Amino acid sequence: MTAEQTTAVLEAEGLTKHFPVRGAGREVLRRGAAVHAVDDVALSLHRGRVTALVGESGSGKSTVARLLAQLQPRTAGAVRLHGREVTVRGGRKFRAYCRQVQLIFQDPFASLNPVHTVRYHLTRALRVHGHAGRNARDLEDALADLLGRVRLTPAEQYLAKYPHELSGGQRQRVAIARALAAEPEVLLADEPVSMLDVSIRLGVLNLLRDLKEQFSLAVLYITHDIASARYFADDTMVMYAGRMVEGGDSETVTQSPAHPYTRLLIASAPDPERIASAVGTAELAEDDLGEPPSLVTPPEGCRFNPRCPHVMERCRTDVPPRFEVNERQWAACWLYDGSESGTATPTTPASEAGDA
């Protein structure tokens, strides 16, 4: 990493979101019951780097993205852009924040309005963010520039089109262009290619990678496909049942996963070559995948403990802090507690350790 890349653009600490449970369900055991969607998550995004957030369905990935984009108020924790926290929703500082931090959704069809053309979507975004220029000529240049950035050229061929006249990949490129109209520093991409045909996924990921380099964007790439994280992301973080369980550089996390959950995730991925190279021993088979836990009454201690083949007594009672596995990787797992006394010695400062 260069010096510029080491300073975080966007940071979250102690990020927590509990959704109140309404209505009478089997799990509503007490008043004030809540879905513990995200608990005590710490992460930082850096200029010119892609950070993947990987986890199975319901693990809280989209909630993290919505909290970072400030689309939803958080239950607890802090989010800082360039070290400054935005505490009040609404107002000038909040609008500036929303410009800097743009979210791209999984389904471009849902995020684009079917009754409006590409020209309308992009013009509106440029105007809202004050980048439409002073006259019609400036606007045309800005539109052509935006479409050029997402490789939809010549621009005239696309400007008059409606979302249904575009392919899925083209629609996602328009959604990306609209996000770029804000001239953001951070792109939060929530499963940006999972709705696209396999054959065009790579093109969109490569485009995001080029944009990251060209504009030094900090990118959060949310996916349930850990293989794509390895291909596309510089760093990878793994989430399980609302908590971060492992993180580090993508190569290390995907080739030598440390947390038993990450190993399980890789072992259950469909590529046999990857299973062999990443897991080594076939201690975890797909049959072990099991069910994720209830988030209304999540397991005490480590949330993975009911499914973990290495479970120890303390895993059932104590939430593991982050332990450094090596200089490129950490895991929130008691297996990596280096202290012989059994007392935790987290290797990251308590404020940074996701579960401390």
Q: Is 62 in the site for Mg ion (CB under 5 A)?
A: yes
Q: How far is the CB of 38 from Mg ion (least distance, A)?
A: 12
Query: Are the C-beta atoms of residues 62 and 69 closer than 8 Å to each other?
Result: no
Query: Are the C-beta atoms of residues 295 and 37 closer than 8 Å to each other?
Result: yes
Strand order in the sheet with 218-223: 101-104, 186-190, 218-223, 50-54, 235-240, 243-249, 329-331, 323-326
Q: How far is the CB of 9 from Mg ion (least distance, A)?
A: 22
Closer Cβ to Mg ion, 240 or 330, answer by number: 240
Q: Which stretch binds Mg ion (CB under 5 A): 8-16, 61-69, 164-172, 336-344?
A: 61-69
Closer Cβ to ligand ATP, 48 or 108, answer by number: 108
Strands (DSSP E) found in the chain: 8-20, 34-46, 50-54, 76-81, 84-85, 101-104, 186-190, 218-223, 235-240, 243-249, 323-326, 329-331
Q: How far is the CB of 91 from ligand ATP (least distance, A)?
A: 24
Q: How far is the CB of 169 from ligand ATP (least distance, A)?
A: 20
Q: Which residue is nearest to Mg ion (CB)?
A: 62
Q: Is 75 in the site for Mg ion (CB under 5 A)?
A: no
CA distances, 312 to each of 76, 281, 288, 325, 337 (Å): 30, 20, 18, 18, 12
Q: How far is the CB of 27 from ligand ATP (least distance, A)?
A: 11
Closer Cβ to ligand ATP, 2 or 57, answer by number: 57
Catalog residues that contact ligand ATP under the rule CB under 6 A. Answer: 19, 35, 37, 55, 57-63, 224, 295
Query: Are the C-beta atoms of residues 221 and 192 closer than 8 Å to each other?
Result: yes
Q: Is 59 in the site for Mg ion (CB under 5 A)?
A: no
Closer Cβ to ligand ATP, 126 or 244, answer by number: 244
The binder of 295, among ligand ATP, Mg ion, none, by C-beta within 5 to 8 A per type, is ligand ATP
Closer Cβ to ligand ATP, 58 or 133, answer by number: 58
Rg (CA), the chain: 21
